[in-house]
A and B are shown apart, each in its own frame.
Chain A
Amino acid sequence: MNAFGSVLRINLTTGSISREQVNEKTAKEFVGGRGYGTKILYDELPKGTDPLSPENKLLFVNGPLTGQAAPAAGRYMVITKSPLTGTVASSNSGGFWGAELAKAGWFMIILEGKAEKPSYIWIKDDQVEIRDASSLWGLNSHEATDNLLKQVGEPQARVACIGPAGEKGALLAAIMNDKNRAAGRSGVGAVMGSKNLKALVVRGSSRPSPENAGEMQSLLKSSLEKIKANPVTSQGLPAYGTAVLVNILNQLGAYPYKNWASSHMANADLQSGETLAQNFLIKKYACFGCPIGCGRITKVGERHGEGPEYETIFAFGVCCGVEPLEPIIEANYLCNEYGLDTISAGVTLAAAMELYEKGSISKEELEGGPELRFGNGEAITYWTKKMGLLEGFGKKLAQGSWRLCESYGHPEISMSVKKQEMPAYDGRAIQGIGLNYATSNRGGCHVRGYTISPEVLGLPEKLDPVEIENKPLWVKIFQDLTAAIDSSGMCLFTSFALGAEDYAAFLKAATGFDYDADAVLQAGERTWNLERLFNLREGIQPKEDTLPERLLKEPIPDGPSKGMVSRLPEMLPEYYKLRGWSEEGLPTREKLDSLGL
């Protein structure tokens, strides 16, 4: 159990700080991270809790591998009830913050209540303090981080914080760590802001110790060889970052254009990873212990920062009909500084552009700001800033596309699932990813079950993206494996080169638990089912396992995937059956018993 550290529980209302031990049974069954955090949230959060009330809980959870000698093992999860979707929120982030928390001896932080005034938490190994953050309130994530490192007098400390978006309750607010890394999705930053909590600053002085250090070193060596031998992790991602996907998705006709009006853009190469590398890249960025280094440090004019990722280029670029990279990069920098989820922010702007062009949003409402027209690069930077500060029309934008569109009587224009904006792959042209979006436990999300690997890239084998045969099985396997990887503390990108047996071997060496590949997949399935139970308890019904009508009924009008729609209704029954759920999409008692739930 040495790999885990302790549980830190802080009640911000009362100021109480306590240490708890990790539960061995829960740790073994749920691995850690996403799984363990979901178990705590399910057990402790009363049904119907208002996500932005003091009663909601905000959990920061490492995996047993976070901070360990495993490749890219610097990930942590933020678990809470989402104010955007009403579902469980589980946002994953890299950088160095999670590893630093592990070095300080902590596995998880459970935050409860609400501080009386703006506060931050300072953790130095065993010493934990709640401190006044009144002077930091209003600062962006970069300013706050620099200021906090001076305040604690530890330049090597690591900061996770919110920007103005989280402080003011933007439902698209992220929690930023190490300035530019984000636990981005589902509005977790707004939950932190609702607790009057600006930041968690951490400094640790010892490394977590695995049960079998010799085996860990041996596994590290062999897994690094696999990562080096894999062209995705050794060449494509290091050279071009995730933005290398722009051209391939566009060539496939699955690159959603102008709020999914189409799925192909003639000049996509202007915003590709190749163009980014040639014209804007300063150097690459690698998170804790990462041999891949997919992050991009870029420069535009006098500004420099991190990004954009593929998803960000899609959201502010093709989805808003914006071609050049300059405004997309600037919008990315603003999201990092104000603390916004780039996917939801960009897709919300695209929805606003459609509403504006169709006459639902009037010019007067924009109060002299740039017109929300597709292709207007000035609009995406201006309105991202307004969204991050919740100023003027930015207040409406900050509530996300579903609430925005619903307020104008057109919820169908919101390209979201369970009120969370969909990412950068068109589920009409790639059938499996559409099923994954529809069934994702946190709403529209690609990294719950990244079937792009087999459907587009051919990893581990090539599936035809337009066919539906066997897709429900692939979606289920990818969802279960991803839940386990998210629980381990390793980065999902290692799965381009590693498989379930590799994660099982690392987890076994770190924890001493007798994991094999099947046990790891079952732990993922257990987590998936518990997330489902949480959502059902909160009133999220199976009928919400669907896609926007546009994807189900409006064929792609042009490009390589012309004529296609999602065949979700044909796949969903088989998916439920494979999950061991009823025809109505409810987990059966038999299935839950088999998982020990």
Chain B
Amino acid sequence: MIRVLFFATFREYTGEKETSANGVTSVEELLRLLGRRYGDAFESHVFEGNTLSSQAILMVNGRHIAHTGGASTPLKEGDTVALFPLLGGG
């Protein structure tokens, strides 16, 4: 099982703080699955056409996927994926 955590506006798009997924082996597969689960509001914030949105931050086990292979980042049983909108502070 892969644990998926939602933060900030992603909680509004999904209506929950976390969920789980099975049978996916990459970040892209996971996001496609979640897109089917949560619909357009979610999907439009993680994809821009066929590529990942530049306005979402995705981490797998605390590592931003920009440094682990992007949408192709492999997933395995027990991983934690965190989804954030692009945000900032100080």
Q: How far is the CB of A442 from chain B (nearest CB, A)?
A: 16
B7 (CB) vs chain A CBs: closest residue = A247
Contacts of B66 in A (CB 8 A): 458, 462, 464
Task: Tell me the smallest distance from the CB of B35 to a CB of chain A, in Å.
Answer: 20
- Pick the contact of A450: B7, B11, B62, B90 (CB < 8 A): B90
Q: B17: which A residues are within 8 A, CB to CB?
A: 269
For the complex, give the distance between the alpha carbons of A459 and B66 in Å.
Answer: 13
B63 touches A244 (CB 8 A): no
> Is the C-beta of B34 less than 8 angstroms from some C-beta in chain A?
no
Contact code string A240-276 (vs B, CB < 8 Å = 1, else 0): 1111110110011100000000000000010011100
Find out whether the CB atom of A252 lies under 8 angstroms from the CB atom of B59: yes
* Smallest CB separation, B77 vs chain A (Å): 18
Q: Which of B63, B67, B88 contacts A457 (CB 8 A)?
A: B88
Scoring B residues 1 to 25 as 1 if CB is less than 8 Å from chain A, else 0, what string do you get? 0000101110100000100000000
A237 to B85 CA separation, bound complex (whole angstroms)? 11
CB < 8 Å neighbour of A231 from B11, B62, B67, B85 = B85
**By the criterion CB–CB under 8 Å, are A244 and B11 in contact?**
no
Known A248-B84, A251-B82, A269-B17; contact A493-B90, beta-carbon cutoff 8 A = yes
Say how far A433's CB is from chain B's closest CB, in angstroms. 12
The total of chain A residues at the interface (CB under 8 A) is 43
Give the interface SS of chain A, mostly helix, strand, loop or mixed.
helix
Q: Determine the residue in chain B with the shortest Cβ distance to A240.
A: B8
| Residue in A235, A252, A561 whose CB lies within 8 Å of B85 | A235
Q: Which residues of B contact A274 (CB under 8 A)?
A: 7-8, 11
Q: How many A-B pairs with Cβ below 8 Å?
A: 96
Interface residues of B in 38-90 (CB under 8 A from A): 54-55, 57, 59, 61-64, 66-67, 82, 84-90
C-alpha spacing A244/B5, complex, angstroms: 15
Chain A's nearest CB lies how many Å from the CB of B47?
16
A242 touches B90 (CB 8 A): yes
Q: State whether A560 touches B89 (Cβ < 8 A).
A: no
In the bound complex, do residue B63 and residue A235 qualify as a contact, i.e. CB atoms below 8 Å apart? no
Q: Does A356 contact B (CB under 8 A)?
A: no
Given A247-B84, A447-B90: A236 and B62 interface contact (C-beta under 8 Å): no
Bound complex: CA A390 to CA B8 (Å): 39
Distance of A247 from chain B, by nearest CB (Å): 5
Chain A residue with the shortest CB-CB distance to B17: A269
Residues in A neighbouring B8, C-beta threshold 8 A: 236, 239-240, 244, 247, 273-274
Residue A11 is within 8 A (CB to CB) of chain B in the complex: no
A559 adjacent to chain B (CB < 8 Å):
yes
Q: Is A285 an interface position by the 8 A CB rule?
A: no
Q: Are A239 and B89 in contact (CB under 8 A)?
A: no
Residue of B85, B86, B87 with highest tally of chain A CB at under 10 A: B87
Does A360 make an interface contact (CB < 8 A)?
A: no
Question: Is the Cβ of B88 less than 8 Å from the Cβ of A458?
Answer: no
Q: How far is the CA of A30 from the CA of B80 in the complex (A)?
A: 48
Q: Is there contact, CB below 8 Å, between A458 and B86? A: yes
A251 in contact with B5 (CB, 8 Å): yes
Q: Which of A443-465 contact B (CB under 8 A)?
A: 446-447, 450, 453, 456-459, 462, 464-465
A-B contact pairs, 28 of them (CB 8 A): A232-B86, A232-B87, A233-B88, A239-B9, A244-B87, A244-B88, A244-B89, A247-B82, A247-B84, A248-B7, A248-B57, A248-B87, A251-B62, A252-B62, A269-B17, A273-B8, A310-B89, A310-B90, A457-B57, A458-B54, A458-B57, A459-B86, A459-B88, A462-B64, A465-B64, A493-B90, A496-B88, A560-B62
Ranked 5 nearest A-B pairs via Cβ: A560-B62, A242-B89, A236-B87, A232-B88, A245-B89
